[in-house]
Chains A and B, each alone.
Chain A
Amino acid sequence: QKEVEQDPGPLSVPEGAIVSLNCTYSNSAFQYFMWYRQYSRKGPELLMYTYSSGNKEDGRFTAQVDKSSKYISLFIRDSQPSDSATYLCAMSRNTGGFKTIFGAGTRLFVKA
Chain B
Amino acid sequence: DAGVIQSPRHEVTEMGQEVTLRCKPISGHDYLFWYRQTMMRGLELLIYFNNNVPIDDSGMPEDRFSAKMPNASFSTLKIQPSEPRDSAVYFCASSLAGTGYNEQFFGPGTRLTVL
Contacts and interface: CB of A to CB of B under 8 A. Distances in A.
A102 interface: yes
Contact of A32 (B41, B48, B95, B102): B102
A75 interface: no
Contacts of B55: 97
B108 A42 contact: yes
Contact of B45 (A32, A45, A49, A100): A100
Nearest to B91: A43
Contact of A31 (B35, B48, B50, B100): B100
Contacts of B45: 99-102
A34 B101 contact: yes
Given A98-B48, A104-B42, A43 B108 contact: yes
Given A98-B95, A99-B48, A43 B106 contact: yes
11 contacts: A32-B100, A43-B108, A44-B43, A45-B106, A51-B101, A97-B50, A97-B56, A98-B48, A101-B45, A102-B45, A104-B43
Given A97-B56, A98-B97, A46 B108 contact: no
A88 B42 CA distance: 9
Interface of A: 6, 8, 31-32, 34, 41-46, 49, 51, 88, 92, 94, 97-105
Contacts, number: 63
Interface in B18-69: 31, 35, 41-43, 45, 48, 50, 55-56
Interface string B97-115: 1001111101111000000
B93 interface: yes
Contact of B31 (A98, A101, A103, A105): A98
A93 to B, nearest CB: 9
Contacts of A88: 42-43
